[in-house]
Structure 1
Amino acid sequence: MEFTTLTVTAAQHVATVTLNRPDVRNAFNETVIAELTGAFRALGSEPTVRAIVLAGNGPAFCAGADLNWMKKMAGYSHDENRSDALTLAQMLHTIWACPKPVIARIHGDTYAGGVGLVAACDIAVAAQTVNFCLSEARLGLLPATISPYVIRAMGEQAARRYFITAERFGAAEALRLGFVHEVVPGDMLDAKVSEIAAALVANSPNAVRESKRLVQEVSGRAIDDALLADTAERIAAIRASDEGREGVRSFLEKRSPSWRPA
């Protein structure tokens, strides 16, 4: 695929999708949304890719919606606004549901919809100097399309506060809330992201994919007979899979499994 707002590279089974609009702090518009959707759909089905890093070029990770795009939306009808918002919602869901694990590499400030991008990823690593802000209420708006992911990522209590105050909060607070998984000095960001990506690539691709799906589908469910049967069926299926059998054999034979890079 060819992109005008992103760069996509791949090495050692890891693809990196980089937001590349530094002049507008990687704010997104309809083109960015379409290209992110296309990139994650393509990479999600690419067998040589085992993990994806979402990054940003320039001073910010993502400033949310592009101002010119917002001006255009101001003249939209209700139906046009709903259709436009649905494309954003579908893009976030494409990232969240991507069968490959996604790491957010957050090097700079992240606002509004950019917070949603981070929340849709599986693992988030931030530089110490990063600030976050759910700024929609300042503009008379609300973070509706990103809310399913942000609430899951930071919890209901924190979301209630930051949705309605539009306060900025730093990387240390994001870590305390569990919104990000790691906070490191800026010069150590790439090393930490690479370390996590290498851990993902070392694992069974099928087990990683199914583990991601397991969390998404089990979280919040009642622990009842249906859930017990579901989880038993999942482990039975993966034990009988090719990678499941290979993993157990390689462990017993004290060798590396076939999927692990040399």
Structure 2
Amino acid sequence: MTQSPATLQRIAVEQRGAIATVTLARPELRNAFDDLTIVELTGAFRALSDDASVRAIVLAAQGTAFCAGADLGYMQRMAHFSEAENRADAVGLATMLNTLYTCAKPVIARVQGDAYAGGLGLVAAADIAIAADGAQFCLSEARLGLLPATIAPYVIRAIGERAARRYVVSAERFDAREALRLGLVHDVVPRDALDASIERVAQAIAGNGPQAVIECKRLVRDIAGRPIDTALMLDTADRIARVRGSEEGRAGIASFLQKDSPPWAAR
């Protein structure tokens, strides 16, 4: 990580067992982000991706909102950026989102409140999203004369082109139930059931083969949208053959056949 947890200003990072939690920690600003938030999130997810003791990551937020997008001070500074400065800043945001999306460990978004603009992008970039039933969502950029460019690849993958065509141009708010229908979130639960739901999914992931989970996440990312042709068939055959012959794969099969717990499971 580029900074130790003790020096982080915009986020908090903690680990309990095999589950790490990255928390947006600006509740007074509805967890709106700025350039420092982007740097800290990028560093945190890079470090956790490489940490063998971490099996899953929860992306959470303090306060009533998940993330309101960019904060006003940050936007005021951006208004005076040159084109080159704007591009460099946008590349930083795009890099942060891609670091989250490509993180080796599954990322679970704990959406306890509103997620707007870049905050919705964080939800879309996560592998799993569980929302409280009062959460609201909005791709609000067009209201400001902007566009959701850096988050668009993740949003379109999450909700599909057809829904994206509506919500990026209308900037309408939609609720958690609509987010569930669109595929942006996987579950909607009462606020007081949110932590239990997150814990259940995180522990399910942590109970699986660590390397298998990494390979499974990579598998979905790599083959989504590809045509089912000979090249894809050979690719998937190569992947399972390699994993079957790995130390973890052999141990998992042996444990299953012997009706024993695998070596990575908590005893």
TM-score normalised by structure 2 residue count: 0.97
Selected match of 2:38 from 33, 37, 50: 33
Q: How far has the Cα of 1:199 moved from its partner?
A: 0.2
Equivalents in 1 of 2:266, 2:94: separation in Å? 36
Equivalents in 2 of 1:28, 1:181: separation in Å? 24
Q: Which runs of 4+ in 1 moved over 6 A?
A: none
Q: How far has the Cα of 1:224 moved from its partner?
A: 1.2
Q: How far has the Cα of 1:34 moved from its partner?
A: 0.1
Percentage of matched positions with identical amino acids: 61
> In the alignment, which residue of structure 1 is the partner of 2:47?
42
Q: Is 1:106 the counterpart of 2:111 in the alignment?
A: yes
Moved more, 123-132 or 1-10: 1-10
Q: Is 1:244 the counterpart of 2:249 in the alignment?
A: yes
> In the alignment, which residue of structure 1 is the partner of 2:131?
126
Give 1:31-70 correspondences, 5 Å limit.
Answer: 31-70=36-75
Give 1:1-262 correspondences, 5 Å limit.
Answer: 1=4, 2-262=7-267
Spell out, residue by residue over 1:194-217, the C-alpha distance to the aligned partner (whole angstroms, 9 max, x if none): 000000000001111000000100
Equivalents in 2 of 1:212, 1:46: separation in Å? 16
Structure 2: gaps (5+ residues): none
Q: How far has the Cα of 1:89 moved from its partner?
A: 0.1
Q: How far has the Cα of 1:244 moved from its partner?
A: 0.5
Letter in 2 for 1:137: A
Spell out, residue by residue over 1:7-47, the C-alpha distance to the aligned partner (whole angstroms, 9 max, x if none): 11111200000000011100010000000000000111111
Q: Secondary structure at the match of 1:60?
A: coil
Spell out, residue by residue over 1:29-76, the C-alpha distance to the aligned partner (whole angstroms, 9 max, x if none): 000000000000011111111000000001100000011101111111
Structure 1: gaps (5+ residues): none
Q: How far has the Cα of 1:111 moved from its partner?
A: 0.3
Equivalents in 2 of 1:3, 1:41: separation in Å? 15
Letter in 1 for 2:66: F
Equivalents in 2 of 1:159, 1:256: separation in Å? 44
Q: How far has the Cα of 1:82 moved from its partner?
A: 0.6
Q: How far has the Cα of 1:222 moved from its partner?
A: 1.2
Equivalents in 1 of 2:44, 2:24: separation in Å? 11
Letter in 1 for 2:55: R
Q: Secondary structure at the match of 1:155?
A: helix
TM-score normalised by structure 1 residue count: 0.99
Letter in 1 for 2:113: G
Equivalents in 2 of 1:83, 1:5: separation in Å? 20
